[in-house]
Amino acid sequence: MSLDFKPGAFNDFFRDETFRDDFTYRNSPEGIRRFPFPFDRDDYMYSVNMEPHVPGRKGSVFEHEFDVDEHYVAEMIDRAKVLADDPLRCQSLPHMTLAGWDLLELIMESKARDYPHWFGLEKTGNRWRWINRPLGIDHSFTFLDDSTLPFGPFEYITRQTQGDFTLQDERDGTLWMDAGIATSQADWSVDFDVGMNFHEWHAPVPLAHEKGVFDRALKFLLKLQHGAPVRRFNWTMTVNPLLDTAPETYPKWGPTKTSITPENMGRKQHLRVELQTLYRLPRSNAIAFDIRCYLGKFDEIVTQPKWARRLHRVVRDLPDELATYKGFIRNRPAMVEWLSKYDDGAPTSVGWWPED
């Protein structure tokens, strides 16, 4: 038994595109308008930026619990390729299986509720039938019985869900990353980090420890309640629409950073936004962390005048430590130069929506 989805099952909505080789990924005009631009003001610094994950504006990435967009099918094909190349990108320590089932339930119920034309879930006691039309999946299995799925529950459901995921066990007053899948990560290794606690896996982040950001964030998370998820943004920069910027493959994609020129900047340089959501899980008491990556090339971002002005100012004024950590210090001057052409100095309104 395998995850027998039929790659190429694109219809009018799902784009047939690539995140590697010829990089045909792009956002449709509607996709650009709903792009989750992460800056609500003209500057940026780390903070405990968390808010309730409640349904947001219609059509936005906040409308549903798990956003399924035009890139869904292509992203799942890319994930399958990454996992075939490197199975270490998905790990679950033995005690995390129940949390995997919790996550599977959360995702299946949410998607069947929010997108009934694409996903279906029928339950007869513990016998479940899961229908995923975009990926061509129709599986019946027994809930909580691992032997009835082709993968562990965590891998099974995350192979069908956009976004990297980690599952945190709560022990000794902290959170332990005891499971994770990462094929669209901003340069951190799930293989290396699995088994670490909250402060350990965050160790490489500059400035935030000293500001107490992680102490406060952890305190907040330990109080997270089932049924009351929260969300936050993170962001960085990526050359080419490459989802899989893994440290494992850094020798392959690192050299592309030197390929940026004023001429190709708009096309090649992407703002990479992570919409991160956190859920307390009901049976395991674990916390699921969803890191959903959205890529928008500079050409697409600057079609919204407010975003163009703001991105210029944020990139220009970002502390060197953050630009270095995020890996774009070498191209920052060129980015600022390119973006400055789209900034007339006019004031911008508070908030991230393009039209407000």
Does position 204 interact with ligand HEM (CB under 6 A)? The reply is: yes
Nearer to ligand HEM, 113 or 211 (CB): 211
Q: How far is CA 110 from CA 57, 105, 120, 314, in A?
A: 17, 8, 10, 35
- What is the nearest approach in angstroms of ligand HEM to the Cβ of residue 43? 14
Does position 208 interact with ligand HEM (CB under 6 A)? The reply is: yes
- What is the nearest approach in angstroms of ligand HEM to the Cβ of residue 48? 5
> Residues 204, 181: contact at Cβ < 8 Å?
no
Closest C-alpha to 37, from 342, 278, 354, 332 = 354
d(CA 316, CA 273): 18
Does position 188 interact with ligand HEM (CB under 6 A)? The reply is: yes
Closest C-alpha to 280, from 106, 47, 158 = 106
Does position 217 interact with ligand HEM (CB under 6 A)? The reply is: yes
Nearer to ligand HEM, 132 or 168 (CB): 168
How many helices (DSSP H) and strands (DSSP E) are in the chain? 13, 10
Q: Select the residue interacting with ligand HEM from 179, 213, 293, 308 (CB under 6 A).
A: 213
> Residues 252, 240: contact at Cβ < 8 Å?
no
d(CA 204, CA 188): 10
Which of ligand HEM, another protein, none does residue 254 bind (CB under 5 to 8 Å by kind)?
A: another protein
d(CA 32, CA 332): 23
- What is the nearest approach in angstroms of another protein to the Cβ of residue 204? 6
Which of ligand HEM, another protein, none does residue 250 bind (CB under 5 to 8 Å by kind)?
A: another protein
Does position 77 interact with ligand HEM (CB under 6 A)? The reply is: no
Q: Could you report how far apart the first and last alpha carbons of the chain are, in Å?
A: 50
Nearer to another protein, 98 or 205 (CB): 205
**Interface region with ligand HEM, contact rule CB under 6 A, candidates 15-23, 130-138, 186-194, 342-350:** 186-194
Dihedral of CA atoms 52, 57, 59, 64 in degrees, nearest 10, equals 30
Closest C-alpha to 337, from 303, 306, 298 = 298
Phi-psi region of 74 (alpha: psi -120 to 50; beta: other; left: phi over 0): alpha
Nearer to another protein, 301 or 323 (CB): 323
- What is the nearest approach in angstroms of another protein to the Cβ of residue 254? 3
For ligand HEM, the binding residues in 165-184 under the rule CB under 6 A are 166, 168, 175, 177
Site residues (CB under 8 A) for another protein? Answer: 88, 189, 191-196, 199-204, 209, 247-251, 254-255, 257-258, 330
Q: Is 280 a catalytic residue?
A: no
Q: Select the residue interacting with ligand HEM from 81, 133, 202, 209 (CB under 6 A).
A: 202
H/E stretch holding 200 reads: helix 198-201
d(CA 48, CA 77): 34
For ligand HEM, the binding residues in 285-304 under the rule CB under 6 A are 287, 289
Which of another protein, ligand HEM, none does residue 255 bind (CB under 5 to 8 Å by kind)?
A: another protein
**What are the residue numbers of the active site?**
232
Which residues in this chain contact ligand HEM in the complex, by CB under 6 A?
A: 46, 48, 166, 168, 175, 177, 186, 188, 193, 201-202, 204-205, 208, 213, 217, 221, 232, 234, 236, 287, 289, 325-326
